[in-house]
Structure 1
Amino acid sequence: MKCSWGTVVVLPLFLGAALSNGVSYIRILEGEDATVSGDFETYSLSMLRCASVCTQHPTCVVWAWDSFGASCRVYTLLWPTDTVTSAPPSLRTYGDVGGYFLLRPSSSSTWTEAQQHCADENGIIAFVGFEKMKLLMQSMRSSAAWVGLHRDHVTGLWKDQLGNVPQDVYWGSGFPGSGSYAYYVVGVLYSALGDFHSDMGILCAYA
């Protein structure tokens, strides 16, 4: 199963998404009477201004706007959980998830098979910053996923699928050790010694 987001359109013409300072925010959790779980600051702002405040905050990847009372939530830190928070129908949640999607395969897969699952959806297995990763995982109610990091056994460095060496990677205690493939579980990364089967989700990026 592939996660799906609301239609990407531009405010103020439509209300499916908000474009602020070059960041496109897409409506998530639509029709679920829920929003993300995390720490937030509350403001009395218009919808478009709410998006702008999030864009200016260094750790904000998601915001929510309540049409009842024009109340704005700017999330400064998402919790490492796959549980979302109940919210009134008037609260609309928008996240910076553009370019990425999660797959939930019908059966378990290895990291190598996960690569192919992404390719089948015209994508590549991906790695993304932790706030956006938490946003994606909450949106899909998923606690674990294969991600696009692997060890280069020539250099010993961990690289993504484009050959880049990501910065600020937060490994679980005792990791990465001698593992070769990376997976994410509620807020931290772990490494697998071998290419084992797992029923985890898969983080992909559009190629």
Structure 2
Amino acid sequence: MNQTVLGPDGQPRCAWCRAAPEFFEYHDNEWGYPVADDRRLFEKLCLESFQSGLSWRTILAKRENFRKAFYQFDFNAVAEFDESDVERLLQDAGIIRHRGKIEAVINNARRAQELVSAEESIAAYVWQYEAENPPAPQTASTSPESIAMSKDLKKRGWKFVGPTTVFAFMQAMGLVNDHAIGCSKREKAAQMRREFTKPV
């Protein structure tokens, strides 16, 4: 199966971009590039948990609504949410109104605070799980590292962080370069990873 599709400029991109026109911009400017910002890392973990059972297109279309609803994913602010916030969010048609997932974000915000206290930052924690020998691009939905991170996060009390969710997070946040062989952005991601200073 061909792992690439031609983009609007005639250059090859990862084949999953064909699923929606808006995927090209997300793919070209965000997906697979290394991230060390705690807010962005927390946001992506939350959005991946909301995606569980749904398409990324659905989540991406609502991303700005999610950001507004969850205070730009400031986990210190979200950690203060209470039942009235849960009820408010359940009435928000701009997001996915799933009580379990909403409550998981609030829970995970509190767990994120604990993680920062223990590990200095979310970034320092997640980058411990960078793959040394990643699977061939776009051949896997989990990895030994995603399984290990998922297990540890669950041990720490996080919710909706299964191995597949964590691997999708790793792909998007650049912990693994999963751009397809032949994708015109694969080398850009590789270069950014080479220049990236891992947080400690």
In which range does the TM-score fall when normalised by the shorter chain?
under 0.3
- Normalization by structure 2: what TM-score? 0.25
Return the structure number with greater relative CO, CA threshold 8 A, min gap 6.
Answer: 2
Structure label with greater radius of gyration: 1
Structure with greater proportional strand content? 1
